[in-house]
Structure 1
Amino acid sequence: GREYLAKHPEAVKERIAAITADQLATLIYTSGTTGRPKGVRLPHDNWSYMAKATVATGLITKDDVQYLWLPLAHVFGKVLTSGQIEVGHVTAVDGRIDKIIENLPIVQPTYMAAVPRIFEKVYNGVAAKARAAGGAKYKIFQWSVGVAREYAKVTQDNFRRTGNATAPLGLSTKHKIADALVYSKLREAFGGNLRAAVSGASALAPDIGYFFSGAGIHILEGYGLTESSAASFVNPGEAYRTGTVGKPLPGTEVRIADDGEVLLRGPGIMQGYHGQPEKTAEVLEADGWLHTGDIGELSADGYLRITDRKKDLIKTSGGKYVAPAEIEGRFKALCPYVSSIVVHGADRNFCSALIALDEPSILVWAAENGLEGKTYSQVLAAPETNRLIETYVQTLNEGLQRWQTVKKFRLLPRDLDVEHGDLTPSLKLKRPVVEREFKHLIEEMYEGSREA
């Protein structure tokens, strides 16, 4: 390279000058959560737009420090890189997921992006530690969780109505006490300087979002697809609303189709699928509108709420529609021992669930409940463990419509992970893969049941 540049000193400038806006920059394959991955053609103009639009939201500045663990070949990691190139802030990169908690106090980021699974694991880890401490400490933690959620809901609602994130004196007083006892320690675990965390790739359970919000860790949920260069929506700073994915990036249009599907149009939309014009025509209209495959609702002031994947909606044999992600999110907020849950019920006469437990958390519980010294597999097989999870399933069902309730569940022999192909590199669930692998457990739950 050095030899070539010595002979052609203008080579780099010439190559850059030859780049056109519509020239292919990246070919990124979809996650394959619902079928065979497709190559998404994203030209240079997409990434230029993403860089400018991300900065225009006010989300990042040149003074920020970003912690980046997402795969750089993934569209989410790519859009974070484009924003960094635009403003030139410091970014610490480490793709090892198991090092995130260890690295945060060292890097001390001002912002980071993650996926719901990371926040769920942090929440469950904190809950498990509090439970292990027992007695008064666990009661204080449970109380602080309730205070955080109430405080977040009240302050967000007041900000929406008045522009001020205020809370009544009594609630503010309780919040200050809980902050000193619990929340401040949680913020230190994130490095102590975290201004905001962006969550994407899948839906974050609102109860978990409200907890972190009330604890002073502001999770700005966003939304996008590989086909839209990752970022199409993001929550706007102070005005963020837990349970929504925020407002469209400047320059991006949105509308809701008659069947509830979210449609997008703008400079971030792909050219099409590589070598698959028929697949492109299925999702990309001639006038530029992209069919996302997601079901959503728009508020009067432009905040989008994604309710489910169009393909993931379950229709029971009784004709009722069920959104599995909503049920899964509720359960993750209820049960401190769950790592993954997959709700099943398409063409069945009731809903069931496959549940994977977080190994460190459940082993701590086991040691305190007469199962000390048992292996993870032995703990999973113990009747006491099944009874424990059953109490959380019953609590879940109390808040659901009759046709949504989980009538049966099975504990999985291992957690879901990237290595076994259950999750994508950005930790999104591959439902068909999981349902195929554990088909025997699903069939076991429906043995003898009358199919309508």
Structure 2
Amino acid sequence: MNATRLFDCMPVQAAAPVGGLLNAKVNGEWKPYSTAEVHTMVNQLSMALLNAGISAGDATTEGRDKIALISNGRPEWVILDLAVQQIGAILVPLYPNSNAKELEQILNEAEVRYVFVSNAELCGKITEVREHIPSLREIYAFDEVAGCLHWTTILGPLKSGDEEKIKAESNKVRAEDVTTIIYTSGTTGRPKGVMLTHKNILTNVLDSSKVLDQVPAPNKSALSFLPLNHIFEKMCTYIYLFNGFSISYAESMETIGPNLREVKPDIFTAVPRLLEKVFERIMGEGQKLTGIKKKIFLWSITVAEQFEISGTSAWYKLKLAIADKLVYSKWRAAIGGNVRAIVVGSSATPIKLEKIFTAANIVILEGYGLTETSPVIAVNQYHPHLRKFGTVGPLLGDVEVKIADDGEILCKGDNVMAGYYKNPEMTAEVMQDGWFHTGDIGTLEDGKFLKITDRKKEIFKTSGGKYVAPLPIENKMKENHFIEQMMVVGSGRKYVAALIVPSYTNLLPWCKEHDIPVDNHHELIKDTRVLDLFKKAVGGFNAEFNHVEQVKKIALLADEWSVERGELTPTGKMKRKVITEKYDTQINRLYADGQIAAGCIEVSPAHV
């Protein structure tokens, strides 16, 4: 493919198991948008924007018009994205759960002309701050919203000469032109506007398409539910489109299960948190079984945990085949029956989960990248020799990586951003000698597989002057199915400790078996039997770390961390600063001499 711009690669046709190139639920029924309909609507919207005065301006990023998009994933999202691209304007996609103040700040910085939203709530957010955004001309909604113009009001039949006008504008767009400014949610600080060009994204898409080619996908069907304003899902959307896949959009995060069974996709993308939730449900259902059925279920979990990509014995393969027929096949049926691979990004996937899902013939393809790298730097692939547990796979295409003296991963290639919007100082900080500094620490295993060991900024020093990388400790201990979420602390302190959110899906059945009341989580985490359970779990893992890294005390928390409460980013990463501030009292208790507060546990030397 010789194209240099994203919109040059629009699909000609697509398989359509659910009905169309793009599909969404409307009034309980799947509504398909055929390839021809998508093409027509993209051109109609492009013409409407041109008629409204939207253009590439003077070809500089600052001089080109910006269109903001705040919506859940749906066909209209993709149609607007493609329309904006082909006339040379710049799309500014934003998280729907952003607060009004943050939206106002970003819309002003980008000097956005028009905002497209999905529903009444988002229309209300923008209306609330509209008078403070002088560049904003109009708000359009995809849903029917009182007091907000419906987006179809600007669509009209294409007139003679319209397609030539669109083509003339698109011919002005260059590969190096910025096509989107994506504001990173960030785990700390103010969002940064990452400028990505057509070339940035397209080279990443084309190289990633070679990975998709390996996955058995006879139906060419994908389900999408991650935020499309995040570069991971946005880029994967282009991969699907360029390779003729039908994309169906889940109604919500709560309906993923039934939507999977309806769409029966070959592939979908996810974050590790979702895999953890799926496995918790699997374990929850398994714990309800009795007798021989429960024994078979627990045996199948043990078999899956022993899975290796290569080198398994004939005896193990026989056990795997039996477990597949009796148990794993039911797991696949629960997610539609056709899923062959799940592409996972955003944060580290516990090796235990990778093994369990892959053993069930649902291959986990964990990758790594950043918004600034469009995003993929490395990814595990479907072919066994291109996969390795505990790593993020081999480097993608022509992406270059080198490991700095301090262990930081540096990246170079056509995928690296044009810079941060209106922030040359920060751009210069991360771009040095032509290399993008990722802020992640890692190694290349076997000279081929990239392994992420921690975030450079998250490594801390104890009061004894010893450095501790929290991520490997957290990832290892989360392999215990009673540990849902965990954050290691200890910066400037005399030892390492941790906050732990129990997996209540697994803990509550255990508590019932031991006659422990489960109605109140705040009381449950004070029970001495529960405390001892976690004491032994952490103590068992401590043996795998050196003395400085061992977790000496832990505090159990009653409430799960979430995006809604602000402890997690929209892609599931912990906001360590927010969590540290919110649980300051609990953390201080972990370091109070001679005091073991309610819900806090000292992991004694006997368990270390």
The percentage of aligned residue pairs carrying the same residue is 38
- Whichever residue aligns with residue 311 of structure 1, its letter is K
Match of 1:314 in 2: 460
Match of 2:257 in 1: 101
Match of 1:51 in 2: 205
Cα offset for 1:190?
A: 2.4
Q: Is the 8 A contact 2:344 2:365 kept in 1?
A: yes
- The two structures have a TM-score, normalised by structure 2, of 0.68
Per-residue CA shift, 1:158-197, capped at 9, x if unaligned? 3xxxxxxxx3222122222222232222222222211111
Q: Is the 8 A contact 1:71 1:95 kept in 2?
A: no
Look up the SS of the partner of 1:123 in the other structure. Answer: helix
**Aligned pair in 2 of structure 1 residues 412, 92: CA closer, same or farther (>3 Å)?**
same
Per-residue CA shift, 1:292-328, capped at 9, x if unaligned? 0111111234211111111112322233332222121
Aligned length: 437
Matched, 1:75 2:231: yes
Matched, 1:118 2:118: no
Match of 1:163 in 2: none
- Whichever residue aligns with residue 332 of structure 1, its letter is K
**Equivalent of 2:350, from 205, 210, 213?**
205
Cα offset for 1:366?
A: 3.1
RMSD of aligned residue pairs (Cα, Å): 2.3
Matched, 1:274 2:421: yes
Cα offset for 1:234?
A: 1.0
Cα offset for 1:39?
A: 0.9
- 1:389-408 matches, within 5 Å, as 389-408=534-553
Look up the SS of the partner of 1:416 in the other structure. Answer: coil
Cα offset for 1:63?
A: 4.7
Look up the SS of the partner of 2:427 in the other structure. Answer: helix
Larger helix share, 1 or 2: 1
Matched, 1:297 2:443: yes
Match of 2:321 in 1: 176
Cα offset for 1:356?
A: 1.3
Match of 2:196 in 1: 42
Look up the SS of the partner of 1:232 in the other structure. Answer: strand
Cα offset for 1:78?
A: 1.0
CA distance in 2, matches of 1:229, 1:269: 7
Match of 1:330 in 2: 476
Match of 2:184 in 1: 30
- Whichever residue aligns with residue 14 of structure 1, its letter is A
Per-residue CA shift, 1:59-99, capped at 9, x if unaligned? 56795211111101111111111212212211111262232
CA distance in 2, matches of 1:309, 1:137: 43
- Whichever residue aligns with residue 226 of structure 2, its letter is L
CA distance in 2, matches of 1:7, 1:178: 63
Matched, 1:143 2:299: yes
CA distance in 2, matches of 1:171, 1:339: 30
Match of 1:254 in 2: 401
**Equivalent of 2:502, from 357, 366, 369?**
357
Cα offset for 1:408?
A: 1.1
Unaligned 5+ segments in structure 1 are 159-166
**Aligned pair in 2 of structure 1 residues 445, 242: CA closer, same or farther (>3 Å)?**
same
- Whichever residue aligns with residue 475 of structure 2, its letter is G
Cα offset for 1:3?
A: 5.7
Deviates more, 1:1-10 or 1:404-413: 1-10
Match of 1:162 in 2: none
Cα offset for 1:363?
A: 3.0
Which structure ranks higher in relative contact order (CA pairs < 8 Å, sequence separation ≥ 6)?
1
Q: Is the 8 A contact 1:108 1:194 kept in 2?
A: yes
Cα offset for 1:130?
A: 2.3
**Aligned pair in 2 of structure 1 residues 53, 404: CA closer, same or farther (>3 Å)?**
same
CA distance in 1, matches of 2:160, 2:473: 64
Q: Is the 8 A contact 1:350 1:403 kept in 2?
A: yes
- 1:409-424 matches, within 5 Å, as 409-424=554-569
CA distance in 1, matches of 2:571, 2:251: 11
- Whichever residue aligns with residue 229 of structure 2, its letter is A
Look up the SS of the partner of 1:244 in the other structure. Answer: coil
Matched, 1:133 2:286: no
Match of 2:172 in 1: 18
Matched, 1:439 2:595: no
Cα offset for 1:27?
A: 0.8
Look up the SS of the partner of 2:432 in the other structure. Answer: coil
Q: Is the 8 A contact 1:254 1:265 kept in 2?
A: yes
Cα offset for 1:214?
A: 1.8
Cα offset for 1:399?
A: 2.7
Cα offset for 1:371?
A: 3.3
**Aligned pair in 2 of structure 1 residues 283, 113: CA closer, same or farther (>3 Å)?**
same
**Aligned pair in 2 of structure 1 residues 181, 258: CA closer, same or farther (>3 Å)?**
same
CA distance in 2, matches of 1:386, 1:347: 26
